[in-house]
Amino acid sequence: MATLCRPAVSVPEYVTTVEETLELARSRHADHPQLGLSLRLIENTGVRTRHLVQPVEETLAHPGFEERNRLYAAEAKARVPLVVRRALEDASLRAVDIDLIIYVSCTGFMMPSLTAWLINSMGLPTTTRQLPIAQLGCAAGSAAINRAHDFCTAYPEANALIVACEFCSLCYQPTDIGIGSLLSNGLFGDGVAAAVVRGKGGAGIHLERNGSYLVPGTEDWIAYDVRATGFHFLLDKRVPGTMEPLAPALRALADGHGWDVSDLDFYIVHAGGPRILDDLSKYLGVTPDAFRFSRATLTEYGNVASVVVLDALRRLFDEGGAADRARGLLAGFGPGITAEMTLGRWSRTP
């Protein structure tokens, strides 16, 4: 049975606080007609600190898409190997044991993907399958878990490496002053993560069932407008309310597995914002504390896109994990509007 092992997570050294973010919004957009609303929305995200790959004054500059994408590639190559080594160590594997590498990122572009560079620079087999995922946004971390699960189900002796790399600050656009853009400027952070799914052996979450669901007619609610200046983030005001149609999909997945989604032992979900977690608590009928790991990620790191679900899981490991055979749900939500969902049991021993 495929097992999701302990994730390794790293965030950059430059830190900005919510107080600094609010002051920057006041100084740069003093004449914005909806400045007060923007400030309240940023305060209500629950984000206290975020980590950036550059000092904030450099982040606020825009040297052009070419330079930003160059920086994206350089930072990815500098930061990803560390989390890959730690994830392999936590899974008791070596680079040569990897059969599939899944690389997820929506904040920069490389071709060939970073997967090719990792194979060449870290000693992965030249036969390693490569699966880059670039356009699932925040849902991509959970999608990577599901695709690794599928692969290890098809090849029970195989191992899959998941890498998530998000430098959201490199998508900052100083000319975008819509409410959604100003909110995103106080919500998103940077970070990288890696985790191994073992087809055989390993301790962590034994993956049992996965599924996907797309809310019809919402494909333009979370999107990129790609211009000469790079990726311009578009966020529809209806996005915070998407848990109402998505919660039944989570419940249906659990029902199909013979589980009650309201009576599981742990919940690891993507924290796009506090409204998402509050609504999930309401619609799934679970206590707010069930999402404490996701809230902690949001508070300390902000929304780190595909990295979030791996960091929230890392926090569960840091707490000592769950009881053996404890049942849990992992889920990520992103553009589409898409949900990627996983059910599994905690395994304390390989």
Tell how strand 100-104 and strand 129-133 pair up: parallel
Number of H helices, E strands in the chain: 11, 14
d(CA 119, CA 237): 41
d(CA 170, CA 148): 28
d(CA 35, CA 287): 34
Pull the structure tokens for residue 229: 């200046």
d(CA 201, CA 38): 49
The sign of the torsion formed by the CA atoms of 172, 174, 180, 182 equals: positive
Sequence letter at residue 309: V
3-state secondary structure of 31: coil
CA angle 184, 145, 73 (to 5 degrees): 55
Pull the structure tokens for residue 256: 């199909």
* Catalytically active residues, by annotation: 138
Tell how strand 8-10 and strand 204-218 pair up: unpaired
CA terminus-to-terminus distance, the chain:
11
- What is the Cα 150 distance to its own chain's centre? 19
DSSP string, 73-126: HHHHHHHHHHHHHHHHHHTT--GGG--EEEEE-SS---SS-HHHHHHHHHT--T
3-state secondary structure of 219: coil
d(CA 138, CA 270): 7
